[in-house]
Amino acid sequence: MTFSYYPGCTLKTKAKDLDMYARRSAQALGIDMQELAEWQCCGAVYPQAKDEIATKLSSVRALMSARDAGHDLMTLCSACHHVIKRVNNDMATDTDIRMKVNNYIKPELEYSGETKVVHYLEVLRDYVGFDELAKKVVNPLKGKKIAAYYGCLLLRPGSVMQFDDAENPSIMEDLIKAMGATPVLYANRNECCGGYVTLENRPTAQRRATSVVSSAKAAGADCIITACPLCMYNLDANCDESQKLPIIYFTELLAEALGVK
């Protein structure tokens, strides 16, 4: 199981843990993560503007490198996954964007969205399989009540992301079960945490973050897991003190369960 791997900037700075535990777990599961050479920032939110071309280029370069390496492109950060998957969809379906980007980059072989973009969680579900993963758990997280937080970036828009049922996802809950812990279902698990407005409208971000964490807390969760560095920051920093719960990257718990933490 070999994948081209796109970590993204945050995983090299603020979210080193997300990356480190992912690599250790992958090794334990027999997944070969080959980091792309000379990858650049995915472009964050900017490439999503319809008339933006320049900001889509770095995502397209990553997608092309994976194609040339002959692998699917694995992502981990929710935001990078969202951006790369959507840019890839633009390249596959929007002839205008495809033409302009190819004219700009002038690659030897034109790119038209042929690389498959898979998130680390999708690799666990679709390539490893949760049943197989459960067999490799050496340190089951028995008794732990874990709330999965999806946020919006992994799920929506559902027709493009095709990650899981956007209104009733189950992939992280299935992972929690495979790790031997108990998933906690709560209403706000797929609501936006407000991370994007934290600079311009802090009170809204605080209200959103608190409503997510308190919803998980009311449902009896011990902690919340996420795949998104921005959600991680926001759910912790902007949550009302009285409602706080530990926010953990899912890869950290995975590494713990697999005994490679």
Q: Under the rule (CB under 8 A), what is the footprint of other proteins?
A: 158-159, 165, 167-168, 187-188, 191, 215, 218
Laid out side by side, the sheet with 247-249 consists of 182-184, 145-148, 223-226, 247-249
Nearer of residues 110 and 191 to other proteins, judged by Cβ: 191
Nearer of residues 210 and 215 to other proteins, judged by Cβ: 215
Nearer of residues 168 and 242 to other proteins, judged by Cβ: 168
Report in angstroms how near the CB of residue 185 gets to other proteins at its nearest: 9
Which residue stretches of the chain are H helix?
16-29, 57-69, 78-93, 95-105, 120-122, 130-135, 158-161, 171-178, 202-218, 229-237, 250-257
Report in angstroms how near the CB of residue 50 gets to other proteins at its nearest: 17
Nearer of residues 51 and 167 to other proteins, judged by Cβ: 167
CB 17 within 8 A of CB 55: no
Task: Name, in order, each residue with C-beta under 8 angstroms of 5's C-beta and a sequence gap of 6 or more.
Answer: 33, 34, 35, 36, 73, 74, 75, 76
Report in angstroms how near the CB of residue 45 gets to other proteins at its nearest: 21
- Amino acid identity for residue 43 in this structure: G
Report in angstroms how near the CB of residue 163 gets to other proteins at its nearest: 15
